[in-house]
Amino acid sequence: MNPEPILSGDRRALARWLTALEAEQPEAQDLLATLYARAGRAHRVGVTGAPGSGKSTLVAALAKAWRARGQTVAVLAVDPSSPFSGGAILGDRVRMQALAGDPGVFIRSMASRGTLGGLAATTADLARALDAAGFDQVVIETVGAGQSEIDVARTAQTTIVIEAPGLGDDVQAIKAGILEIADILVVNKADQPGVEATVRALKSALELESAARVSGEAAPGWSVPVLTTVATAGDGIEIVIDALAAHRIQMQSSPIGQQREIQRLRRELEARLRQRVWQRVEARLAPDTLDLLAAQVHQRVIDLESAVKSVLASTHTHTE
């Protein structure tokens, strides 16, 4: 693949590259390797939260505000694939129509394609590609997430967790997972009743969080702000933009911020290795091996652990 059209702003070439990366085509991955040194200039911002909390609307409002400041914006919007058909309906563009016609904005919808955790397996690669293509802001919007869809924190430099009034009590807020990944908390739909109670619950959950934090991923000098927005009206958006910029500076200037980035890359490396090792094992198995073993486990001919060992033994003999 030729990098020139992509670097000179050819949107068709960029779109085709993203498609090839999503299909994990080697030529597309080679191009990403070639351009990797150019990536790293964009601010990768993750946006996650429950379905209906207003993720897409907030992303659209943030993009408008960045554009007003002269920055270019790419959005990766992930929606779930159907576990039954493998198909998907990707509807995030519906809330982003106000961005249409602006050549400084590029929106790409992605289906999760069976990956749990709120993103697709290739989302990180597409984010790096958009970074390399020169966008100032790369926003990653997850599927509607609940309590464990935290992959976005492994891909973004700054993660916004968005809540809305009336979605749960303070016990929901202290459960493991989604609050721990928040660098910025946004309570959207702040014109709805119950917003004060939601802000209060989140603030007290954050206090518990920092009191209980042992090793701590958060950068020193950064306390997670709880901000309120009405994304449909654009209220509160400028403050979120400022908080994002402040967090980025904090992460770049502190050693702990750098350390956090390295930790993030280590986890990504590990996830990718796991996937590759599995693909190698799978490639060496006869197509019906797992079906036959499962049937044997079902009939209690062998147990699950023995089945695993027999697969590993049979694939290992061929390993270089």
Using CB under 8 A as the criterion, which residues of the chain lie in contact with other proteins when the complex forms? 11-12, 15-16, 18-19, 23-24, 81-82, 84-91, 93-94, 97, 100-101, 106-109, 111, 113
To other proteins, the closest distance from the beta carbon of 111 in angstroms equals: 5
Compare residues 12 and 298 and give the one whose CB is closer to other proteins.
12
Burial class (CB in 10 A: 0-12, 13-18, 19+), 239: middle
Compare residues 15 and 312 and give the one whose CB is closer to other proteins.
15
To other proteins, the closest distance from the beta carbon of 273 in angstroms equals: 20
To other proteins, the closest distance from the beta carbon of 18 in angstroms equals: 7
Long-range contacts of range 200-209, CB-CB < 8 Å, 24 or more positions apart? 201/169, 201/170, 201/173, 202/163, 202/173, 202/226, 204/170, 205/170, 205/173, 205/174, 205/179, 206/179, 208/174, 209/174, 209/179, 209/180
Tell me the residue length of the chain: 320
Compare residues 48 and 56 and give the one whose CB is closer to other proteins.
56
To other proteins, the closest distance from the beta carbon of 128 in angstroms equals: 18
Helix (H) or strand (E) holding 18: helix 11-22
Per the DSSP assignment, residues forming a β-bridge with 45 are: 139, 158
Compare residues 85 and 319 and give the one whose CB is closer to other proteins.
85
Compare residues 73 and 243 and give the one whose CB is closer to other proteins.
73
To other proteins, the closest distance from the beta carbon of 81 in angstroms equals: 8
- Both tokens of residue 23? 């299909």
User: What is the rounded CA–CA span in Å between residue 155 and residue 157?
Assistant: 7
